[in-house]
Amino acid sequence: MAEPLRIALAGLGTVGAGVIRLLEANRTLITSRAGRPIAIVAVSARDRSKNRGIDLSTFAWEDDMTAMAARPDVDVVVELVGGSDGPALTLARNAIREGKALVTANKAMIAHHGLALALAAETAGLPLKFEAAVAGGIPVLKGLREGAAANVIERIYGILNGTCNYILSTMEDTGRDFGDVLKEAQQLGYAEADPTFDVEGIDAAHKLSILAAIACGAKLDFASVDTSGISRLCAADIAQADSLGYVIRLIGMAETERDESGARRLFQRVQPYLVPRDHPLAHVDGATNAVVAEGNYCGRLLFQGAGAGDGPTASAVVADLIDVARGEIGAPFSVPVGELEALEPAESGHRMGRRYLRFTVADRPGVLAELTAAMRDAGVSIESLIQKGRPEEGGEVLVAIVTHPGPESQVTEALRLLDGSPSLTAPPLVMQLLAK
């Protein structure tokens, strides 16, 4: 039998422990599919004494994980620590410099430093694999790089954060407000103690930038992702969406377009969308992820499954290790880094669509007239307007407006006209209506 593929594993949290369990539980199957055994020889984590429910006695322990890459008995470094910089990035750089393959689940590191790491790996002729960085156990990156490789991907979008999807679908099912459901999600382990990266859309934006690079052949550009989260949504928004035939989901969307000169530009946005009930993404509930890719020959492809957790994410990590064991290298972003296009961000003002606008206003005469006048002066055509008062006398009023199709610039202008108005007691909320 061929020599084992020898692994150094950094990070023994939920996913790291899951990788060890999976390699043990499916050892015979994995060896058969990889063509050789896959064996962990060294591990590292912050706390050596912590009980993780797994036997670590057969592995060498490294207190300094960044030095693991220098071990002569290691072929592959698996980084499961997280964080865009710090020890994770040092370990990744050391691994490639020492001639080791690198497998990681670190979307933040890939979003910020993926091009440099990929270039170093390509130059050294080494595999760099990060299937687990996007959508957990769903093989969406492999699907784009291999299964849809013959297609021009015209648009890619989806539900990329399980925490937000759990919160939104629970609000939908129970009628409860965001803060209440967030606390429950934290108690159940779906949300971190500090949920900012999840609920403000940053985690989804990291993943979207990686998807956009692979799907669109573009250089990573996380900084240009237009990002907003779900923390400002309330139960009334969920109810209004339902009455209109929609559900609300946090969607990451990327597509390329041509400007007036014919140059390709890249549009990237993470934002809550109103999704039609008959759209596939409307039925994605709980902590599930789903990605839709639209190719010019394959049509619409839907990738759906568990987006996080020890089992699904470990499955993606071990799938990458099997590829490495088989000797599969390939360009990390489908094409060599030098062939990725540096696309300018696309402007959003000309984008056509329907939109949902929610205003929180003072309950007094003339406010509706002020809102509708701003819409009129900006050229926004109103399809429907719903006003909901608060039960207490003299309280605030929620006004929801759904527009007819029109350019985004008109809505932006309407909001500019209303900026600073004493009638508005909170900043307006704007959401796109996802086209079928």
Active-site option among 207, 219, 388, 436? 207
d(CA 184, CA 287): 13
The predicted model scores a pTM of 0.94
d(CA 355, CA 351): 11
Contacts of 261 (CB under 8 A, 6+ apart): none
Domains of the chain, start order: 5-133 (3.40.50.720), 140-306 (3.30.360.10), 352-433 (3.30.70.260)
322, containing H or E segment: helix 310-325
Please report which confidence band the pLDDT of residue 376 belongs to, taking 50, 70 and 90 as the band edges.
very high
Does the structure show a pLDDT above 60 at 390?
no
pLDDT at 393: 46
Please report which confidence band the pLDDT of residue 364 belongs to, taking 50, 70 and 90 as the band edges.
confident
Does the structure show a pLDDT above 70 at 371?
yes
- Angle between the 107-124 and 202-216 helix axes, to the nearest 10 degrees? 30
Contact between 156 and 294 (Cβ < 8 Å): yes
Query: Tens digits of per-residue pLDDT, 281-315?
Result: 999 998 899 999 999 999 999 999 988 888 999 99
Query: Catalytic site residue 207?
Result: yes
In degrees, to the nearest 5, what angle opens at C-alpha 137 toward C-alphas 22 and 294?
Answer: 155
Q: How many CB atoms lie within 10 A of CB 340?
A: 20
